[in-house]
Structure 1
Amino acid sequence: MDATTIDPRRADVQDGRPPARSGLGANVLGAGFSLLATLIGLILLAWAILFVTKGRFLKPYFEQIASDQAKRSVKVAGDFQLYFDPITIKFRAEGLTIANPAWAERKNLFESKLIDTRIATAPLLFGRRRLNWLELAEGDLDFEWDQEGRRNTWTLGDPTRPGEAFEMPVIRRARVSGTRIRYRAPQMAFLADIKVETVRARDTQFENDIRFSGGGTSRGRPFTLSGSLMSPNETVAGGRNRLALHGAGAGNVLDVSGTLPGATEIEGADLKLRVRGPNMASLMQFLGATMPETRRYRMSANLTKQGESWRFTGLRGTFGDSDLAGAMTIAMPRNRLRIDADLRSRVLDILDAGPWIGYDPERLDRMGASGAIVHDGGRPRVLPDAPLDVAGLKRFDAHVDYRVTTVRMEKFPVSNIGLTLDLDRSLLKLSPLTFDVAGGHLASDILINARARPVHTEYDIRLSPTRMGLLLAKFGVEQSGTTGVVKARVQLRGDGDSVHESLANASGRMAFIMPAGTFWTRNVQLSELDIGTFVQKMFEKKLKNPVEVNCGLIAFTVRDGIAAADPILIDTRKNVIKGRGGFSFKTESLDLAIEADAKTFSLFSGQSPVGIGGYFAAPTIDPISGELVARAGVGLGLGVLVSPLAAIVAFVDPGDAESTRCGPVLSGARASAQREQSGDRVKKLGDGRSARPDAPKKERKKFLGIF
């Protein structure tokens, strides 16, 4: 065979070279195209079969698969269709029912005469549910939580699985008729039953008007709800839906208006909220939260939804005679309600702050400041006894920052309140709670532990040096002649569900310290307890010179709600003032005896005790004590029997009181540490044990009507 007869296709083999790859690649590529064409063909065939048959033959498979996945019965009583039309998923079912778990009140979670939808295919591939169209006729939806608030009816699958938050699919356009939606949350004592209908709109700008109305109860209080959602023709092309909602309950009236991106698409909504009512606490109950009661309020805010959070921005309004502004966010992280707020008031009326600690807002609104006083068995009582809503605190968490510029009140100049509130599973912290008063600064930390019963409260209140001239100006103290200051520390802890109850069994210490300074009053004053001064001021209304204070301490040891002086000791240029007795948080009664020993000779000196009695809400002062009256009687008798000069002897004070060492006084030390300049212990001081039942019998006396 010559060269001309050699097969060119085998030449590369004969000369030892591998075959060309171009043919192999073409074969692989061709096979790939063939496979793809086959798949497309099969898809088109399946699409065609489904389109022609409307997928009716899938009905038993749908019921079986859906029931297995939901772990409950899913049935279609009538016609069933499931196919692509042309690329969106067409789903139609007549008489569709989805059963509820056995613990629910209603038999079915969902049932309807007809449900007809167009489901967007592309978003579904990425886990997003969007219905371009929904028609629902005579639907009945039952959303329930169990008694413990752990499981719900709409979380499908494992019946023991904890309930998840409901995620509404995005519905671009809808027509609904004869449909009811029921929501029940027994753990929140909440029930709502809403009817939804689509009404043909007369306004040609809108294709239809989805209207809803109904009501329910929240913690035993009925409410009503109504509104409409008007869907424009261009919704599918990216238009927006106009929402109007009106609700009323427990005297509260709520209106929401604005636009939604889709019929059920809240994300990015542009809404305006307006709400008003007699008490903001009753409004918060609808959310399952608790807050202090308020006087009548009116609020407005911009409302939108971002992720899982509802945001209230531009919040502005009033409660009582105070203003309120700021922002608030409500969310449900891990299926637990959480409220975050940043609020501020330019002016806070003191009456509006009263309900925060338990005063009745209706009494305050009707009676003013006197509404804080109630009478119990003929005794006036001022400490609030409204119980803390312990059950309410368990249902939510919160973080609130609140700032107040000015406080409107009659007696004390208070401003610049700053409050940080944290609530974490029934542990409530008001820390710090601060404000400026009379040029001084008060800082406090209050912890309320409601995780166990009884509720345990700890108070720690600190007052920086504050000018008494400003602090007590409304009580008759002259600012221009008063240089004295006062600083204080109160540390108490007690158990109980109200302020009164927690203080009624509290223990701890209270101390008010006065460094050197002057004190001057415009009206009758008893600080020196000098009878000559007292008589002079009763008629002349003023002193020629202010009282000069070297140091002073007014302190009490508190045991089981009884505060005993420990000590009351004020050293002035002229006198050493001492006090005994105390007061009771239980009965709010006062029983104090104050007396002054003169350092220098004085004809008219009140060596006898001045009594301070009555109650917190109605104190009494008795500067003419029984002992002093007896001395006056002796003086009168001597004057008649001997001579007028002898009558004065009964009022003469030899002036032998010794000055006090100010070190222990200014350190807030207890009575046992107080010393005279000579080093001797200061006598006749309340030592914090006056009210104790184990006091020596000869020293015991009836104290505060208890012992």
Structure 2
Amino acid sequence: MRRLLWMVAGLLLILATLWMILFVTKGRFLRGPFERIAGSQLHRQVRVRGDFQLYFDPFALKLVVDGLTIANPNYATKPFLFSARRIEARAAPFSLLRKKWSFHSLDLTGAAIDLEWDKAHRRNSWSFSDKKNGRPLTLPVIDEARLTETTLRYRDPRLRLLTDLRFETIRSEGARIGSAIRFAGNGTIRATPFMVSGALLSPNRTVQRGRNRLILHATAAGNVVDMRGTLPSLAELEDVPLQLSARGHNLARLLEIIGVVVPDTRGYALASRLVLHEDQYRFTGMQGRFGDSDLAGAFTVHNIEPRVRVEAALTTRRLDIVDAAPFIGYNPDVIAAKGAAGAVTRVKGTPRLLPDAQLRIEALRAFDAKLRWHVDAVRSRNVPLSDIDLTLSLDDRLLKMNPLTFTMARGRVTSDVTIDARARPARTTYDIRLLPTPVGQLLAGFGAIEAGTTGTVKGRAKLVGIGDSVRDSLATAQGRIAFIVPGGTFWMRNVQLVELDLGVFVQRMLQNELKKPVSINCGLIAFTVQDGIATADPILIDTSKNVIAGRGSLSFRNEKIDIGIRADAKKFSLFSGQSPVGIGGYFAAPTIRPLSPQLFGRVGIGLGLAALAPPAALLAFVDPGDAKSISCGPVLAGARSGAQRTVKGAKGR
């Protein structure tokens, strides 16, 4: 018993001596052992660059450190994971030797935390292992704390994200912090600067290494983004569902931040659920609007090398025609302000309609895409579009819209458009097909009356052009455009007006037979396109009463129209104009010239004959009715002018 008592007394004496030595010396001689022990536990270099004190005060360890640093791994861009200008703490005895540190109090001044991922996104600076994800930093339990001038830096090379945050002074008592830990800062994402502010709304769980309710507000490139969610740990964002909302003046500016290029839009507001999984941003349950159009669906952005890849499935119930303008190269703000007139520009005094917005070739290098987009209807006064389906793919500057289908005036159009921007300038292939459509329905979509019209029409435009805009590619286009009318009936009024057969027109009007249908045997309206000039090849319509033929051209270079249409009767007719109807002007301002120079010439001849013998004046307006019926085989085959024939085999018009 005496030996035991002497042993206990000796131990107490040793402890008292150690306590006295530590109290007197403040434990400054322990700086080296502290650095080695802490470094061995963290597998990082730990250094104290200023004063170091470690002693019992009286029964708790008191730690005072000036200039503490904990090194970052060598792949990080900053030397230190953690640094602090001054630390004053009272810790539970021997907790510094355990993995779970426990502090009665902590006063931290000028702390800077640097959290970084390596380029491969396999290791991070706050995980103390070479294995993927490693062993995360374990936060200590703190009864009372005061953190002043604390900053945090987060860097993710894969996301091209860098942010620097400043925290408000944090105070806690009884292991509890106030209502929130608030922060603000700035940064860049994919070279776009942003400002950010937010808060951890459950700071007490944060201190206890629990879940963190996060709210965040950011502004970047004219966009405002709000995000909220619950993080499983302080720096864990992966596989965490976050509620995201964004608004701004232009959706294109928002998507540019993550490396995706789309045409400019009007103001937008969208909300979705965001999950970051490995190299992916997953946006699901998206709902919102851009301009006066709605938008819903989901999309995923893959942050992979060498290009970002986007996959999207979107739906729109109502697409306003103004919001559709950017997709074909028009400025939506100008269209919204001026209406259809906003699509027209003037070049050397002449109106131009074709859009000349340039492809952003360099931007297309940055990402690939797969998109499916369905639009129920387009809201427009003059362009009756509905049921649009777009399948789009982009692979290293090769853009394909294959197919793009829509209903226009109740006629179904399907098209394949390929833009190969790998070539310089870009090479565009157009293949646009109008499926067989009742002409009555097609005209009814533009306000005409359907009754009495039973014919159908089908067509195809197949062109190849070179240029970085729609205007440039069509101005150099080669190919063919053809519309075929297999047969049917039309109102006589429409045919007689084209023919300008004044005698028959007046006769039918007086007999109240204006709506009597005229049979169309076949018809072809076709153009051969060379170097942007579309030449009629041919315009030919054969009816039961006449043959309508046209000549002329359309220019995609200057958008000029110069076409003449003439109808010759198959039967004798009095008071027939027998002269072309001219269609001229420009795409943006077409004109119709029913009184052509030929007709005025006939009037002159008639006046001359009238001077000799008044009844002879009628001879200038007599149509002998010698037009020959056209063979419908070449017409229905869409053949060129040289292949057209009459029913008797003679060369056609």
TM bin, normalised by shorter chain, reads 0.7 to 0.9
Q: Is the 8 A contact 1:143 1:152 kept in 2?
A: no
Q: Structure 1 stretches of 5 or more lacking a match?
A: 1-50, 68-73, 82-91, 117-129, 146-150, 158-165, 684-707
- Report what 2:35 is aligned to: 56
- Counterpart mapping for 1:187-336 below 5 A: 194-200=164-170, 209-215=180-186, 223-235=194-206, 239-334=210-305, 336=307
Task: Supply the AA of the counterpart residue of 1:338.
Answer: R
Q: Hey, what's the Cα distance between the residues in 2 that align with 1:498 and 1:236?
A: 58
Task: Supply the AA of the counterpart residue of 2:369.
Answer: A
Q: CA deviation at 1:59?
A: 8.6
Q: CA deviation at 1:676?
A: 0.6
Task: Supply the AA of the counterpart residue of 1:247.
Answer: A
Q: Is the 8 A contact 2:605 2:620 kept in 1?
A: yes
- The one of 485, 492, 503 equivalent to 2:474 is 503
Give the 3-state SS of the residue equivalent to 1:477 in structure 2: coil
Give the 3-state SS of the residue equivalent to 1:113 in structure 2: strand
- Percent identity of the aligned residues? 49
Q: Hey, what's the Cα distance between the residues in 1 that align with 2:135 and 2:201?
A: 18
- Report what 2:151 is aligned to: 179
- Report what 2:486 is aligned to: 515
Q: Is the 8 A contact 2:200 2:214 kept in 1?
A: yes
- Counterpart mapping for 1:123-142 below 5 A: 137-139=110-112, 141=114
Q: Is the 8 A contact 1:476 1:521 kept in 2?
A: no
Task: Supply the AA of the counterpart residue of 1:451.
Answer: R
- Report what 2:612 is aligned to: 641
Q: Is the 8 A contact 1:407 1:414 kept in 2?
A: yes
Q: Hey, what's the Cα distance between the residues in 2 that align with 1:371 and 1:433?
A: 25
Q: Is the 8 A contact 1:272 1:301 kept in 2?
A: yes
Give the 3-state SS of the residue equivalent to 1:501 in structure 2: helix
Task: Supply the AA of the counterpart residue of 2:327.
Answer: W
Q: Hey, what's the Cα distance between the residues in 2 that align with 1:348 and 1:540?
A: 47
- The one of 95, 98, 108 equivalent to 2:69 is 95
Q: Residue 574 and residue 363 in structure 1: after superposition, are their counterparts in 2 closer, same or farther (change >3 A)?
A: same
For residues 657-683 of structure 1, the C-alpha deviation after alignment (integer angstroms, 9 at most, x for no partner) is 100011111111111111111111113
Q: Residue 156 and residue 537 in structure 1: after superposition, are their counterparts in 2 closer, same or farther (change >3 A)?
A: farther
- Report what 1:47 is aligned to: none
Q: CA deviation at 1:107?
A: 7.8
Q: Residue 227 and residue 423 in structure 1: after superposition, are their counterparts in 2 closer, same or farther (change >3 A)?
A: same
Give the 3-state SS of the residue equivalent to 2:626 in structure 1: coil
- Report what 2:523 is aligned to: 552
- Report what 2:95 is aligned to: none
Q: Is the 8 A contact 2:419 2:429 kept in 1?
A: yes
For residues 586-618 of structure 1, the C-alpha deviation after alignment (integer angstroms, 9 at most, x for no partner) is 111111111111111112323222211111010
Q: Is the 8 A contact 2:548 2:567 kept in 1?
A: yes
- Report what 2:11 is aligned to: none
| Alignment RMSD | 4.3
Q: Hey, what's the Cα distance between the residues in 1 that align with 2:135 and 2:307?
A: 22
- Counterpart mapping for 1:690-705 below 5 A: none
Q: CA deviation at 1:490?
A: 1.0
Q: CA deviation at 1:571?
A: 0.9
- Report what 1:697 is aligned to: none
- The one of 65, 74, 83 equivalent to 1:112 is 83
- The one of 622, 635, 645 equivalent to 1:665 is 635
- Report what 1:406 is aligned to: 377
Q: Hey, what's the Cα distance between the residues in 2 that align with 1:176 and 1:153?
A: 31
For residues 242-286 of structure 1, the C-alpha deviation after alignment (integer angstroms, 9 at most, x for no partner) is 221112233322211232222222234342211112211111111
- Report what 2:622 is aligned to: 652
Confirm or deny that 1:681 pairs with 2:651: yes
Q: Residue 348 and residue 626 in structure 1: after superposition, are their counterparts in 2 closer, same or farther (change >3 A)?
A: same
- The one of 308, 324, 328 equivalent to 1:357 is 328
Aligned residues: 586
Q: CA deviation at 1:369?
A: 2.4
Q: Hey, what's the Cα distance between the residues in 1 that align with 2:211 and 2:124?
A: 32
Give the 3-state SS of the residue equivalent to 2:422 in structure 1: coil
Q: Is the 8 A contact 2:190 2:259 kept in 1?
A: no
Q: Hey, what's the Cα distance between the residues in 2 that align with 1:226 and 1:560?
A: 57
Q: Hey, what's the Cα distance between the residues in 2 that align with 1:429 and 1:376?
A: 31
Q: Residue 575 and residue 664 in structure 1: after superposition, are their counterparts in 2 closer, same or farther (change >3 A)?
A: same
Q: Is the 8 A contact 1:173 1:236 kept in 2?
A: yes
Q: Structure 2 stretches of 5 or more lacking a match?
A: 1-29, 54-65, 88-99, 126-131, 141-146
Q: Residue 476 and residue 295 in structure 1: after superposition, are their counterparts in 2 closer, same or farther (change >3 A)?
A: same
Q: CA deviation at 1:652?
A: 0.8
- The one of 311, 315, 320 equivalent to 1:340 is 311
- Report what 2:501 is aligned to: 530
Q: Residue 56 and residue 235 in structure 1: after superposition, are their counterparts in 2 closer, same or farther (change >3 A)?
A: closer
Q: Hey, what's the Cα distance between the residues in 2 that align with 1:251 and 1:604?
A: 68
Q: Hey, what's the Cα distance between the residues in 2 that align with 1:535 and 1:591?
A: 29
Q: Is the 8 A contact 1:173 1:231 kept in 2?
A: no
Q: CA deviation at 1:619?
A: 0.4
Give the 3-state SS of the residue equivalent to 1:654 in structure 2: coil
Q: Is the 8 A contact 2:117 2:124 kept in 1?
A: no
Q: Residue 310 and residue 191 in structure 1: after superposition, are their counterparts in 2 closer, same or farther (change >3 A)?
A: closer
Task: Supply the AA of the counterpart residue of 2:69.
Answer: G
Q: CA deviation at 1:201?
A: 7.1
